Structure 1
Amino acid sequence: MADTTPNPLAPGSLEGVRVLVTGSSRGVGADTVRYFAEAGAKVVVNYRNKAARAEKLVAKIREAGGTAIAVGADLTDPESLAALFDTIRAEYGGLDLLVLNASGGMESGMGEDYALRLNRDAQVAALRGALELMPAGARVVFVTSHQAHFIETTPTMPEYEPVARSKRAGEDALVALVPELDERGIGFVVVSGDMIEGTITATLLDRLNPGAIEARREEAGRLYSVSEFAAEIAKAAVEDVPADHLVLLGDVSGFTPLPN
């Protein structure tokens, strides 16, 4: 877990705020949850099968004076997901911020439909489960990539296209729930960034298509690091929600937006 980017959140600014970041035992999720904890939030470190990493992160947060618990859950498993929220209810009594960071689809041996089950169906199920714990004034953040957000108008690497389309499907399904969220007084924002240096997805893509990440870096000028992207997610979680519920990070000149 890199500590190269300053925390964008002021110390104590999230005192008592209850936060769940899905897929937060490592990478972007881990740095994001650390920023929240340093700002005083009570955080939930969620993992699918990296219990040791999650517990190590929780230990570091607690040693620094923060409040954290690690809860394992497979977001594609309804019983596992329900147990996650039962634990949050028992430990924290509710949830004020949900960051839907967990995603995937390039793993082997998970089934042909795994990307869609995780990146669309599980995202909606996680939001539905969280709503039972979230009061008015709470917020939901969905984390995606430009390659997914703009997939209908801008082609991406063939190796990544199934994941990109599944993440765009997830984004669309969540955006469709915004009217219901508005009625509940719950904010919603999509945070989209380019490929992130050092993530598992970038590593897998470069393995399948050697030089792909370097080519994207040259085309974009620069790519966010894990900690830089996490800092942007943390800021989006507390700043005013854009009218279009969308935060686009970095240069998007190479991507064509959908027509209005």
Structure 2
Amino acid sequence: MSSLAGKTAVVTGSSRGVGADTARLLAAQGANVVVNYRQKAPRATKVVKEIEAAGGHAIAVQADMTEPSDVRRLFAEAVEAFGGVDVLVLNASGGMETDLGEDYALKLNRDAQDDTLTAALEHLPEGGRVVFVTSHQAHFINDVETMPEYVEVARSKRAGEDTLTARIPELSAKGITFVVVSGDMIEGTVTATLLNRARPGALEQRREAAGRLYSVHEFAEEIARMVTADVPTGHVELVGGAEDFLAQAGGR
């Protein structure tokens, strides 16, 4: 029996893409899954129905992660439905949008991540796990230059990672572990599509540098694996295509 059997996982930003596949994979391992979405209810409902059709348990909860009251309601509904929360996957991110305000990237990728963790700590038990999902472009931004179109997002995501990492002593005191999963550009994601549109050839350039890029499902598999992996708190799992980032970072 999976170690996730009967446990509850909240996956932010999970109505599509990497988050949706992560939700499906965790449900397949026996977890009750909370599928979070900001606007597109039909997409989230579809993910829930797919999980249930496969014999799993899930609910869809609307919550804008930049709204503290929404975040608290997200966890309240998770507890009401399943009795508790054991795992938090911080997958929701953004900042490439042009219609959500000048400071939206920092608001979502740093402030909302911190606030979501604070809300989760009211429910996560000893033995709980928090997984923060990021990109190599963000994780290495202090040492490796990225595309100008992505700099603001990358810096905001790195700020989020640093803010959460600084809370590891607080988490450890509660018996909760924290893990970071960092991936290269992912084929088929909204961010990769937007970046390639802004800078034609960006995807091909990363394919050449990395050898190949992960698919949405492959990256989701790595995230799901780190939910139960036997790794120390603070562990950073670099998923595919990190060699050139490590080489550049080591040379500075």
Task: Identify whether the pair has TM-score above 0.5, normalized to the shorter chain.
Answer: yes
SS in 2 for 1:159: helix
Q: Which runs of 5+ in 2 are unaligned?
A: none
2:179·2:233 contact (CA, 8 Å) conserved in 1? no
Structure 2 residue aligned with 1:93, among 69, 83, 99? 83
Give the Å deviation of 1:251.
3.2
- Scaled by the length of structure 1, the TM-score of the pair is 0.93
The structure with the largest helix share of the pair is 2
Aligned 8 A contact 1:150 1:258 in 2:
no
Q: Deviations over 1:97-127 (max 9, x none)?
A: 0000000000121001000000000000001
> Cα distance 1:143–1:214, how it changes in 2: closer, same or farther (>3 A)?
same
Letter in 2 for 1:180: E
Distance, in Å, in 2 between the alignment partners of 1:67 and 1:232 is 21
2:63 to 73, 92, 99: 73
Contact 1:197 1:226 in 2 (8 A): yes
1:33 aligns with 2:23: yes
CA contact (8 A) 2:135 2:184 kept: yes
Please give the alpha-carbon distance, in whole angstroms, between the structure 1 residues aligned to 2:158 and 2:2: 35
For residue 203 of structure 1, what is the amino acid of its counterpart? Answer: T
Alignment pair present for 1:220 and 2:220 = no
CA distance, structure 2, for counterparts of residue 258 and residue 43 of structure 1: 39
Structure 1 residues 243 and 95, CA gap change in structure 2 (3 angstroms): closer
CA offset at residue 253 of structure 1? 2.2
1:104 corresponds in structure 2 to: 94
Report the secondary structure of 1:126's partner residue: helix
Alpha-carbon distance in structure 2 between the residues aligned to 1:244 and 1:70: 29
CA deviations 1:39-64 (Å, max 9, x no partner) are 11100000001110000110111111
In the alignment, structure 1 residue 44 sits paired with structure 2 residue 71: no
8 Å contact from structure 1 (residues 152, 258) kept in 2: no
Distance 2:222 2:174 in 1: 26
**Distance of aligned partners of 1:244 and 1:93 in 2 relative to their CA distance in 1, 3 Å threshold:** closer
Pairwise CA distance, 1:90:
1.2
Contact 1:144 1:191 in 2 (8 A): yes
Kindly indicate whether the alpha-carbon contact (under 8 Å) linking 2:168 and 2:233 is maintained by their aligned counterparts in 1: no
Distance 1:57 1:244 in 2: 30
Query: What TM-score comes out, normalization by structure 2 length?
Result: 0.96
- Bigger drift between 250-259 and 222-231 goes to 250-259
Alignment correspondent of 1:5? none
Correspondence for 1:61 among 51, 72, 78: 51
Q: How far 1:91 moved relative to its partner?
A: 1.2
How far off is 1:219 after superposition? Answer: 1.4
Unaligned runs of 5+ in 1: 1-10
Secondary structure of the structure 1 residue equivalent to 2:173: helix
Q: CA contact under 8 A between 2:3 and 2:228: conserved in structure 1?
A: no
- Alignment of 1:139 with 2:126, yes or no, is no
Please point out which of 158, 161, 166 is paired with 1:168. Answer: 158
The size of the alignment, in residue pairs, is 249
- The CA distance in 2 between the partners of 1:154 and 1:12, in whole Å, is 39
Matched letter for residue 76 of structure 2: D
Comparing 101-110 with 233-242, greater Cα deviation is found at 233-242
Provide the residue aligned with 1:115 in structure 2.
105
- The answer to whether the Cα contact below 8 Å between 1:55 and 1:70 also exists between their aligned partners in 2 is yes
Q: Aligned partner of 1:206: which letter?
A: N
